[in-house]
């Protein structure tokens, strides 16, 4: 045994690893980074240097790599409680190999120059697609690379995993904020605001909007109405419900997804601009809905658009979410050193009450570009609320508080040094 082990050690050549954050950031994506980094440091026989892409995959294409070994253990521990993308993230989707061979060849060129044998890509749907494509270039372009996706998306729309790191914390923020704002509206409704509209993220899937429903402890409590992207907007039914709520309770609290749509598929509010992925850039459905109510029913309203505040709100992160974010980062490295390839660590729920979960690998090919929406049985028959089944699914994901340390009344978030790795290539690459 002892001899065999020594032989194996001698023949194993550690290769370097590349980690990148991708797409919209979250309150806990850095916790996944901490999981990747701290775990990689435990496998020196497999993983040599760990590099991070500055501004995500763009850092790989432009050979702008961050030397993670220059960061102190304290900084890496601090990533666990620091929101947003510490290494920089990017909205940059690689096209298919046949459509844009140059990008893949460039990636290989950079990876080869820095002896990168592991690729950890921390992102959502589009990113898992990119990770899957990169996992195929080893074969296509003759460069061996172990590719692991690390799930992350506040939208909670990745398939095969029970939930997505990042979502639990947004869900908690929205549920807490809805409960708090509802108390505010309720206490002033007699002489002032009767309608409160909270616009939340979720372009195609209504998971975040659904989380607003957790604010209610029992039937009739706020939010009285949730508007999901999955349910075509029925204006007369909506107005009737608003009126009924105001007449019986004195007020009406509405959580509306930015992706709420008319029956013809048109968004309730469309800014008319598109992001790098060609998706319509939304924002403003909150005021649209509020104005609609005022015009038809005349009620005084207020509206809020939490926007980035919701996904950056590390101060009120879910403890379960932080733990899962770290766990998928850790598992990604463990899979890689065990020789797994083209997989993503998924969160598997083994019990809801008490809540239990484990991490298991799922193939990237099965994850890429599949969107998991809120199932119809999670939405009440009238389309305006969440069912007991939805509540059972969501409740464990917001459990527990995981407060960051504070200095002078503010969270003491860390910043990386971000030391650049010396470039080895003479060539530039425009992205």
Closest CA to 91 of 115, 136, 124: 124
What is the per-residue binding string for a copy of itself in 376-405, x denoting contact by CB under 8 A?
-------------------x--xxxx-x--
Among 264, 295, 408, 428, binds a copy of itself (CB under 8 A): 408
Element (H, E) at 391: helix 388-394
Among 111, 120, 196, 238, binds a copy of itself (CB under 8 A): 196
Closest CA to 197 of 251, 264, 265: 251
Cross-sheet strand order for the sheet of 356-363 = 65-67, 47-53, 15-21, 116-123, 146-151, 343-351, 356-363
Active site residue 155: yes
Min separation Cβ 378 and a copy of itself, Å: 18
Pick the stretch among 97-105, 182-190, 254-262, 363-371 that binds a copy of itself (CB under 8 A): 182-190
Q: What angle do CA 213, 209, 388 make, to 5 degrees?
A: 35
Closest CA to 126 of 118, 134, 117: 134
Min separation Cβ 128 and a copy of itself, Å: 18
Q: Which of 126, 155, 157, 162 is catalytic?
A: 155
Distance CA(305)–CA(181), nearest Å, equals 12
Min separation Cβ 89 and a copy of itself, Å: 5
What is the per-residue binding string for a copy of itself in 282-321, x denoting contact by CB under 8 A?
-xx-xx------------x-xxxxxxxx-xxxxxx-x---
Task: Identify which of residues 262 and 403 has a Cβ nearer to a copy of itself in the complex.
Answer: 403
Dihedral sign (CA 167, 123, 99, 138): negative
Interaction residues for a copy of itself, span 58-117 (CB under 8 A): 58, 82-92
Min separation Cβ 335 and a copy of itself, Å: 26
Interaction residues for a copy of itself, span 118-157 (CB under 8 A): none
Among 9, 11, 99, 191, binds a copy of itself (CB under 8 A): 191
Distance CA(321)–CA(373), nearest Å, equals 19
Min separation Cβ 355 and a copy of itself, Å: 11
Task: Identify which of residues 112 and 423 has a Cβ nearer to a copy of itself in the complex.
Answer: 423
Contact indicator for 245, 225 with CB cutoff of 8 Å: yes
Closest CA to 344 of 168, 159, 202, 204: 159
Provide CB contacts within 8 A for 414, sequence distance 6+: 74, 75, 78, 79, 82, 86
Min separation Cβ 88 and a copy of itself, Å: 5
Q: What angle do CA 204, 210, 213 make, to 5 degrees?
A: 160
Task: Identify which of residues 77 and 91 has a Cβ nearer to a copy of itself in the complex.
Answer: 91
Decide the pairing of beta strands 195-200 and 225-227. Answer: unpaired
Among 411, 418, 423, 429, binds a copy of itself (CB under 8 A): 411
Task: Identify which of residues 143 and 355 has a Cβ nearer to a copy of itself in the complex.
Answer: 355
Distance CA(149)–CA(129), nearest Å, equals 9
Task: Identify which of residues 300 and 349 has a Cβ nearer to a copy of itself in the complex.
Answer: 300
Distance CA(257)–CA(286), nearest Å, equals 9
Min separation Cβ 97 and a copy of itself, Å: 21
Task: Identify which of residues 17 and 61 has a Cβ nearer to a copy of itself in the complex.
Answer: 61
Distance CA(58)–CA(181), nearest Å, equals 40
Provide CB contacts within 8 A for 268, sequence distance 6+: 227, 233, 256, 260, 261, 262, 285, 288, 289
Min separation Cβ 279 and a copy of itself, Å: 12
Pick the stretch among 7-15, 129-137, 174-182, 417-425 that binds a copy of itself (CB under 8 A): 174-182
Among 2, 3, 5, 190, binds a copy of itself (CB under 8 A): 190
Nearest 10 degrees: Cα torsion 237, 241, 247, 249: 180
Task: Identify which of residues 116 and 306 has a Cβ nearer to a copy of itself in the complex.
Answer: 306
Nearest 10 degrees: Cα torsion 255, 207, 214, 329: -130
Interaction residues for a copy of itself, span 215-274 (CB under 8 A): 215, 273
Among 111, 118, 335, 413, binds a copy of itself (CB under 8 A): 413
Pick the stretch among 12-20, 232-240, 280-288, 376-384 that binds a copy of itself (CB under 8 A): 280-288
Min separation Cβ 7 and a copy of itself, Å: 44
* Residue whose entry in the numeric block shows the structure tokens 């398939």: 159
What is the per-residue binding string for a copy of itself in 21-50, x denoting contact by CB under 8 A?
x--xx-x-----------------------
Q: Which residues are part of the catalytic machinery?
A: 155
């Amino acid at each position: 045994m002892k001899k065999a082990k020594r032989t194996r050690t001698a023949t194993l050549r550690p290769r370097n690893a590349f980690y990148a954050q991708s797409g919209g950031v979250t309150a806990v994506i850095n916790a996944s980074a901490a999981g990747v980094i701290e775990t990689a440091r435990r496998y020196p026989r497999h993983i040599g240097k760990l590099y991070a892409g500055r501004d995500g995959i763009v850092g790989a294409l432009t050979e702008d790599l961050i030397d993670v070994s220059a960061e102190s253990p304290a900084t890496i521990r601090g990533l666990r409680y620091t929101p947003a993308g510490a290494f920089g993230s990017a909205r940059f989707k690689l096209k298919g190999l046949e459509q844009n061979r140059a990008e893949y060849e460039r990636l290989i060129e950079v990876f080869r120059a820095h002896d990168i044998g592991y690729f950890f890509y921390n992102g959502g749907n589009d990113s898992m697609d990119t990770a899957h494509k990169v996992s195929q270039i080893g074969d296509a372009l003759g460069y061996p690379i172990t590719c692991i996706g690390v799930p992350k998306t506040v939208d909670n729309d990745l398939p095969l995993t029970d939930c997505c790191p990042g979502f639990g914390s947004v869900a908690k923020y929205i549920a807490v904020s809805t409960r708090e704002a509802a108390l505010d509206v309720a206490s002033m409704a007699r002489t002032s605001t009767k309608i409160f509209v909270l616009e939340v993220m979720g372009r195609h899937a209504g998971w975040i909007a659904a989380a607003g429903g957790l604010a209610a402890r029992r039937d009739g409590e706020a939010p009285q109405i949730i508007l999901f992207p999955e349910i075509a907007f029925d204006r007369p039914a909506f107005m009737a419900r608003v009126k009924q709520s105001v007449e019986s309770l004195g007020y009406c609290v509405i959580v509306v997804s930015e992706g709420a749509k008319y029956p013809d598929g048109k968004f309730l509010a469309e800014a008319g601009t598109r992001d790098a992925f060609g998706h319509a850039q939304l924002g403003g459905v909150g005021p649209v809905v509020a104005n609609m109510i005022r015009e038809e029913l005349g009620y005084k309203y207020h509206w809020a658009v939490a926007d980035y505040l919701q996904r950056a709100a590390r101060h009120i992160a879910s403890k379960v979410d932080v733990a899962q974010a770290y766990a998928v980062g850790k598992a990604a490295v463990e899979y890689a050193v065990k020789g797994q390839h083209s997989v993503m660590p998924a969160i598997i729920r083994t019990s809801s009450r008490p809540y239990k979960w484990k991490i298991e690998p799922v193939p990237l090919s099965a994850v890429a570009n599949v969107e998991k929406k809120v199932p119809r049985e999670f939405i009440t028959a009238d389309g305006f609320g969440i069912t007991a089944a939805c509540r059972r699914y969501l409740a464990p994901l917001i459990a527990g508080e995981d407060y960051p340390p504070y200095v002078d009344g503010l969270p003491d978030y860390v910043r990386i040094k971000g030391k650049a790795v010396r470039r080895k290539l003479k060539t530039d690459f425009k992205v």
